Homo-oligomer: A and B are copies of this chain.
Amino acid sequence: MADAPAGRRDFAGLPSGPAIVLVAPQMPENIGSAARAMLNFGLTDLRLVRPEKRFPHPRAEALASGASFVLERARVFDSTEAAVGDLHRLYAATAREREMLKPVQGPRQAVAEIGAALRTGERCGILFGSERVGLLNEDVVLAEKIVTIPVNPGFSSLNLAQAVAVLAYEWWCFLAGPPAERFSFGRTRPATREEVFGLFEHLERELDEAGYFAKVPDKREAMLTNIRNSLQRGPLLDQDVRTLRGIVKQLAGKRIPGSKRRRQDG
């Protein structure tokens, strides 16, 4: 997390991220799922404006799956204005076209702007509307910008918690920086060319011994080229070379010593 914003950290020791403000959420399940996704992706400041069911709620707790941490600290407000009053920057998450002149960004751009603002000590938030109607214009107008998650226009209605998850995921990607490809298990490294050539020579010697090319000696070079290319389709690790040499040794050892007959005649 080399690029994490300097400065404020939240109660969980995470770099302070944007507040997630759910306006008039209907289903406690979605509040719980949103809390879980938030904590998965390093967000902890959950604010609820007039939730339809009472809050706290056992169904929110159940869906949070251990992110009760976030639910316990969630604050409930009577109005969107009150919920966002302390914030310096506010985005409205909505996909609907509004008869409103307001800049619209994708999640990645919005999160990058939010991250930059947080670094300077500003507080930021993202508004999400209710499951049934989304954000009302009277809420959207409170925000400076709109953030729109790009979706299939043929089926564009995102679940509320999924929408929170996508923004939160982008937040964590921003914090963590783009992950580089790596190997899942650390005790290896790419094989050197010398190790790879050693494997080829070992294999080719044993194939010669076994009479692999005996019937088609003029094709030997072409076949060796194919074999070498086959074995190099992916990056060979030092462990791959050891594994493959072990296989060659074991298979070669099974032939009757001094005899080439098994392969030739089989």
Contacts and interface: CB of A to CB of B under 8 A. Distances in A.
A6 interface: no
Interface of A: 12-14, 33, 36-37, 39-42, 65-67, 69, 97-106, 108-109, 146, 148-152, 154-159, 161-162, 165-166, 169, 172-173, 176, 178-179, 181-185, 188, 235, 237, 239-240
Contacts of A172: 150-152
Given A172-B150, A184-B97, A156 B103 contact: no
A56 B164 CA distance: 28
Contacts of A148: 179
Contacts of A39: 152, 154-155
A132 to B, nearest CB: 12
Contacts of A151: 40-41, 172
B109 A181 contact: yes
A185 B103 CA distance: 9
A66, A69, A155: residue with the most chain B Cβ atoms closer than 10 Å: A155
A146 B184 CA distance: 8
B100 A185 contact: yes
A98 B157 contact: no
Contact of A169 (B14, B105, B149): B149
A152 B173 CA distance: 10
A176 B150 contact: yes
16 contacts: A33-B159, A33-B162, A40-B162, A42-B152, A67-B155, A98-B184, A99-B185, A100-B184, A101-B184, A101-B239, A102-B184, A102-B185, A103-B184, A105-B179, A150-B173, A162-B162
A9 to B, nearest CB: 12
Contacts of A184: 97-98, 100-104, 146
